């Protein structure tokens, strides 16, 4: 947009802070009801995840897939589509990327890695293209349903043809060859290439959506498809295109997680990164800076879940309560303000 409205920005930030305080208050109450000390819990959480460099690095590691899945939701969102399917696209990206990682040995590191990344993006793109191409069916429903299908497809390969022979009791593929592993940064942490890819795509998104001709057309499709059609913008093509791009980024998140963190494909590669990405996008309303802040926030909350598990012996499910609280607060927002985009 040509003229940023600085007042609206600060207003939004203030509203965000209030939201955070309200959520922390309610969750504190929940902790207290569970018989834990909320003040100490929060202090531990902050100390271990924000003030400790290793802890902070872990938050950033969790943030990497969130940046990408949130973008995977944000791009279709700008075209007026609700993509609930980032989780499935994440899984399919991991699947196709794994195929390339395991079946193209003997390539140089950079070429193999590039092909793995592209295959991951292709897997997610295909999974996103399906709902996009089914123009007559509601994309919210189709993307949601495809989330249930993706783990079944991954399961078929992981339990079946791709199962590693050496560790036959675990349903998982053999380990990736070194040439297919993501490079790691900052020894002692698990920071990997995926984070920088996430940042790169976030920057590209922020620039293209507001400054490029393609961003303008995409937003017009979301803003008024009838007018867009009459202005000669190929609306149907943009809808498929937005889903393909979104799916590709969610798929990239999937293969990054596998090729950097796990080193092999298995069923438990995502603690719900696709759904968290959806949450991030709704918190950020597809605003690039918002996506950066919110994916950090959600990653921090997810890490806190593990901290609380260790320090307070809270079940990890307690964090799901927190996530749900956030989701409710966010979903309530448009109704409180009168629906407006």
What is the binding site for other proteins (CB under 8 A)? 1-3, 208, 211-214, 216-217, 219-220, 223-224, 226-234, 341
In the complex with other proteins, which residue's Cβ is closer, 213 or 337? 213
In the complex with other proteins, which residue's Cβ is closer, 3 or 313? 3
Q: What is the rounded distance in angstroms from the CA atom of residue 44 to the CA atom of residue 16?
A: 23
CA distances in angstroms from 249 to 90, 171, 281, 295, listed in the order given = 8, 26, 14, 15
CA atoms within 13 A on the CB side of 298: 33
| 229: CB partners within 8 A, 6+ apart | 235
Q: What is the rounded distance in angstroms from the CA atom of residue 341 to the CA atom of residue 328?
A: 18
In the complex, the smallest distance separating the C-beta of residue 245 from other proteins, rounded to whole angstroms, is: 15
In the complex with other proteins, which residue's Cβ is closer, 167 or 227? 227
In the complex, the smallest distance separating the C-beta of residue 186 from other proteins, rounded to whole angstroms, is: 32
In the complex with other proteins, which residue's Cβ is closer, 15 or 341? 341
In the complex with other proteins, which residue's Cβ is closer, 189 or 210? 210
Question: Which residue's entry shows tokens 């390339």?
Answer: 100
* Strand, coil or helix: 34: coil
> Tokens in use for 98?
């794994």
In the complex, the smallest distance separating the C-beta of residue 121 from other proteins, rounded to whole angstroms, is: 19
Q: What is the rounded distance in angstroms from the CA atom of residue 283 to the CA atom of residue 303?
A: 18
In the complex, the smallest distance separating the C-beta of residue 15 from other proteins, rounded to whole angstroms, is: 19
In the complex with other proteins, which residue's Cβ is closer, 53 or 234? 234
Q: CB count, 10 Å around CB of 40?
A: 12
- Report, in angstroms and rounded to the nearest whole number, the Rg of the chain calculated over CA atoms: 20
In the complex with other proteins, which residue's Cβ is closer, 138 or 212? 212
In the complex, the smallest distance separating the C-beta of residue 233 from other proteins, rounded to whole angstroms, is: 7
In the complex with other proteins, which residue's Cβ is closer, 212 or 320? 212
Q: What is the rounded distance in angstroms from the CA atom of residue 41 to the CA atom of residue 206?
A: 36
In the complex, the smallest distance separating the C-beta of residue 48 from other proteins, rounded to whole angstroms, is: 43
Give the single-character DSSP code of 136.
T
In the complex, the smallest distance separating the C-beta of residue 19 from other proteins, rounded to whole angstroms, is: 23
Which of 126, 125, 88, 65 minimizes the C-alpha distance to 277?
65
Q: CB count, 10 Å around CB of 29?
A: 11
Q: What is the rounded distance in angstroms from the CA atom of residue 274 to the CA atom of residue 66?
A: 8
In the complex, the smallest distance separating the C-beta of residue 314 from other proteins, rounded to whole angstroms, is: 43
In the complex with other proteins, which residue's Cβ is closer, 213 or 313? 213
Question: Which residue's entry shows tokens 């590709």?
Answer: 248
In the complex, the smallest distance separating the C-beta of residue 219 from other proteins, rounded to whole angstroms, is: 7
| 160: CB partners within 8 A, 6+ apart | none
Q: Maximum CA pair distance of the chain?
A: 62
Q: What is the rounded distance in angstroms from the CA atom of residue 189 to the CA atom of residue 183?
A: 12
């Amino acid at each position: 947009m040509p003229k940023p409205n600085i007042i609206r920005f600060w207003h939004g930030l203030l509203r965000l802070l209030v939201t955070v305080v309200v959520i922390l208050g309610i969750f504190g109450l929940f902790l207290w009801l569970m018989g834990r000390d909320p003040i100490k819990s929060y202090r531990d959480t902050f100390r271990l995840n924000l003030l400790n460099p290793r802890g902070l690095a872990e938050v950033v590691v969790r943030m990497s897939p969130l940046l990408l899945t949130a973008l995977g939701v944000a791009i279709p969102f700008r075209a007026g589509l609700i993509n609930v399917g980032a989780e499935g696209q994440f899984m399919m990206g991991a699947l196709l990327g794994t195929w390339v990682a395991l079946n193209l040995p003997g390539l140089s590191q950079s070429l193999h890695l590039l092909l793995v990344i592209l295959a991951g993006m292709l897997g997610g793109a295909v999974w996103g293209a399906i709902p996009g191409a089914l123009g007559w069916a509601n994309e919210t429903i189709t993307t949601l349903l495809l989330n249930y299908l993706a783990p079944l497809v991954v399961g078929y390969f992981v339990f079946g043809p791709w199962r590693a022979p050496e560790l036959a009791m675990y349903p998982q593929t053999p380990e990736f060859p070194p040439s297919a592993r993501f490079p790691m940064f900052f020894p002692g942490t698990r920071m990997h290439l995926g984070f920088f890819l996430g940042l790169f795509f976030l920057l590209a998104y922020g620039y293209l959506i507001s400054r490029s001709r393609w961003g303008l057309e995409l937003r017009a499709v979301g803003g008024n498809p009838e007018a867009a059609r009459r202005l000669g913008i190929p609306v149907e093509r943009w809808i498929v295109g937005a889903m393909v791009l979104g799916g590709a980024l969610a798929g990239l998140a999937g293969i990054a997680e596998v090729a950097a963190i796990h080193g092999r494909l298995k069923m438990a590669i995502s603690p719900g990164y696709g759904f968290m990405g959806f949450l991030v996008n709704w918190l950020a309303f597809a605003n690039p800076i918002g996506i950066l802040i919110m994916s950090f926030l959600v990653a921090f909350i997810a890490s806190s879940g593990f901290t609380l598990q260790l320090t307070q012996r809270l079940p990890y499910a307690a964090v799901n309560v927190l996530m749900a609280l956030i989701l409710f607060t966010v979903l309530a927002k448009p109704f409180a303000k009168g629906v407006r985009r």
